[in-house]
Amino acid sequence: MSGIRPAAVAGRFYPGDPAALAQQVGAFLAAAERPAATPALTPKAIVAPHAGYVYSGRVAASAYARLAPGRDAIRRVVVVGPSHFVSFEGLAGSTSDAWQTPLGAVPIARPSGMPAVLSDELDRALGAEYSVEVHVPFVQSVLGAVELVPVTVGRAPPEAVAGVLEALWGGPETLIVVSSDLSHFLDYRAAQEIDSRTAAAVEQLDGGPLSARHACGVVPLAGLLIAARHRDMTVATLDLANSGDVGGPRDRVVGYGAWAFYERESAAEPVADAAVLSAAGPMLLDLARASIVNGLATGMPLVPANDHRLPAVIAAPGASFVTLRRQGRLRGCVGSYLAARPLAADVAANAFNAAFRDPRFLPLRHDELSGLELSLSLLTRPAPIAFADEQDLLRQLEPGRDGVIIADQGRQALLLPAVWHDIPDRRDFLGHLKLKAGLALDHWSPQFAAYRFRCVELKSGAAARLQ
């Protein structure tokens, strides 16, 4: 499918006449107030509803009004919403070249981190979906000329959504929008009660208590909460209402909420969580070894029990690399740079995959277990690097200490701090990252983003150390 996707719900969910639509959206935005407690920053992500504007427009505007300071910086908007009509596995994008609304056409971006559309038939079926579309007129009104990355979520876990958001995260040029209404068809008081509990969970960045009864876009919302928790973001509740507040019947209402998510201004070196990770080292090394032994016995990785007695850092989302060596030679290395699952599960899965699924090696044999050296690299939270240009970025890199992630044009790559041993020159290190991401050596753009992290290195029989 290519060409321009026509508006599916213009004239129903929002006005089909351009002048009437512009007037309605403008009135909602003008009426939106900025609470004094809201940080004077442009949100990195927002959550807003997708019902008809007469019901949810005021709540949506409370989020979109916060984006006005970012009009000159934001160039790409990722909108993630649930599929209401079509049941399918995974996530889907759009093969259209642009999406049309009464306010004009918005070009579609297809960065490499986007999941592929499953089929042209699915794309056509999703042409009637409104969860993403209703946000586009607000995007056009507030941000002007941008590219749109529409993502529709079918049957998928929140971790899959978090992974896609991380791949598309980018820098100040990228905005994340999650589309979701809240409770459906309860009476007014019951809706207020359950929506208040949903707001409390969002404010705690905890999607665990949420289900489809709390929000129709619960999976996109929970995926954003995973990413926000991983990035230590702050969140502000902007508005909470339901259809009964704007003249709808109060015996069966639909709830609406709006939130703004902010990245922290400081990029302080995350040494504190490195110390916590080091303390958990012996338990994680034992877990990695047990997963490999279990793999030799059963062909399956060890699945850590969900035990509340585990240290918090092990039960919380974390990212790790597991490296295996025999007689000083590499025997397998697999890892994660996204904290999308509990650290215990991440270490167990990566240990199994390093032993049996690294495509560079044959699966580990029983006779190779003796003398196998195992090491873990536990990644601290990535912190964004603020820089004026490439030379400024190079000056800030600390050889031997910084692990680095770069992102641009929907592409992303990571190098661990240990790589500095082989590539000690800053420019060569950055060049290797660019090539790994599929970018040219001389590539640069105003949207280029970089993040630093540190690694807690743990080895069998050796004390933990921080690189």
Write down all domains in the chain, each with its CATH number in brackets. Answer: 4-262 (3.40.830.10), 275-379 (3.30.700.20), 383-455 (3.30.1490.150)
Q: Which residues face 242 on adjacent strands?
A: 255
Q: What is the pLDDT of residue 314?
A: 82
Which residues have C-beta within 8 Å of that of residue 168, sequence separation ≥ 6?
A: 78, 111, 113, 114, 149, 174, 176, 410
Q: How far apart are CA 37 and CA 124, in angstroms?
A: 43
Q: Give the other-Cβ count within 10 Å of 224's Cβ.
A: 30
Alpha helices by DSSP H, 206-254: 218-230
In the chain, count of helices (H) and strands (E)? 13, 20
Strand, coil or helix: 372: strand
* Run of H or E including 257: strand 253-262
Whole-number Å distance between alpha carbons of 291 and 303: 8
Per-residue pLDDT reduced to its tens digit, 92-117: 988 899 999 999 999 999 876 566 66
What lies within 8 Å, CB to CB, of 365 at 6+ separation is none
Which regions of the chain are under pLDDT 70? 1-2, 33-40, 112-120, 264-275, 306-310, 338-340, 410, 461-467
What pLDDT, in 10s, does the model give residues 444-457? 988 788 888 888 88
Distances in whole angstroms, Cα of residue 8 to Cα of each of 20, 283, 297? 17, 54, 54
pLDDT in tens, 341-389: 788 889 999 999 999 999 999 999 999 998 899 999 888 877 778 788 8
Q: What's the pLDDT score for residue 306?
A: 66
Mean of pLDDT over the chain: 87
pLDDT at 290: 94
Angle between helix axes 53-64 and 18-31 (nearest 10 degrees) is 60
What was the pLDDT predicted at 467? 42
Q: How does DSSP assign 305-351, residue by residue?
A: ---TTS-HHHHSB-EEEEEEEETTEEEEEEE-SS--SBHHHHHHHHH
What is the reported pLDDT for 385?
A: 84
Read off the tokens for 447: 């949207």
Amino acid at position 258, single letter: A
Residues in Cβ contact with 234 at an 8 Å cutoff, skipping those fewer than 6 apart: 39, 261, 262, 264
Calpha distance 297→294 (Å, rounded): 5
Cα distance between residue 253 and residue 270, in whole Å: 45
